[in-house]
Amino acid sequence: MAATTDAPVALKKNYLTALKEALDEEMQRNSLMLCQGEDIGRLGGAFGVTDGLQAKYGEDRVVDMPISEAAIVGSAVGMALNGMTVMAEMQFIDFISCGFDQIVNMMATYHYRTAGEVNIPVVVRGPAGAYGGGALYHSQMNEAWFCNSPGLKVVCPSTPYDAKGMLKAALRDGNPVIFYEIKELYRKREIEEELPTEDYIVPLGKAAVRREGTDVTLVSYGQNVYHCLDAATELEKQGISAEVIDLRSLVPLDEETIFNSIAKTSRVIVVNEAPMTCGFAGEVVARITTKAFHLLDAPPSRVTRMDTPVPWVKPLELHVLPSVDKIVNEAVRLVKF
């Protein structure tokens, strides 16, 4: 008979559970924190990120709001001005545009226009990204809008560990943070991982090296990190060693980790699922060209979504988005340059 043990079994957590734990723990830690958004209380949110929080903390701290992103963000700014920390949920990040004025003209600018006297501890978070058949209204990655707005921090974690640690860090930061969550990763079993039982944060502004390599650097964030990792596996079969950098944080951007990698590989591809024109991949390429041109043996390259809305039909959706094959083909081209 096999020996038995009473030792607890460490359970792996998914991306969604990690986010829920972060909100729960921060609400316990900070009595001045509240959450608000559409259907986040009684229904627990469209995807369940806030499930159970209203029952635990009450309707005054987990607030069901009208279908008005402008009201959600605007009232969050008002409460932040009165000493509260606020998590404002966008039911889908696509509809953050309905609160755009409040975010870029109010939330982002307060610290500057008060000469640094006023902080705005608001985290605007929500599900983002494509690959799930959500079509044009439920598939966007519009992060470049907010990277272009001074005063905002912008982050996009790709793992459960980072999702929890970065959300906790964002809620403690004091600055307004736009927090992109990849909905296709919420319940993805392949990326589940054990999380520390003790309190931890993942500092904003620091990239992670997900795989080391010597021939080409693949820079990405969010779901595309996994496309890059799969591409690196395929490239290895062709004798090409790819290093994979997960930016995690777009603003502030960890240039040092990117440049250190390019110093080894001399080639770089930036991958993201936003459109190519004026997308954040272009900003990364511009900084590489300006500050690390001397390290390159080939022009920096991008693999992005086509400049089109995301189609609903699956073959067309995959056609316009980055893929493992597109990354592999571009890496092979660069190595042969």
Catalytic-residue membership of 138: yes
Task: Report the candidate in 183, 187, 190 with the shortest Cα–Cα distance to residue 131.
Answer: 183
Cα(330)–Cα(326) distance, integer angstroms: 6
Q: From the CB of residue 30, how many other CB atoms can be counted at a distance below 10 Å?
A: 14
> Which tokens belong to 317?
């959706």
Where would I find the H helices in the chain? 15-29, 53-57, 69-81, 100-101, 110-113, 143-147, 160-173, 224-237, 255-265, 280-291, 314-320, 324-335
Q: Which residue has the tokens 């440049």?
A: 259
323 contacts: CB under 8 Å, gap ≥ 6: 227
14 contacts: CB under 8 Å, gap ≥ 6: 160, 186, 187, 188, 189, 191, 192
Q: Which of 111, 138, 294, 319 is catalytic?
A: 138
> Which tokens belong to 300?
């920096």
Three-state secondary structure call for residue 87: strand
User: What are the residue numbers of the active site?
Assistant: 138
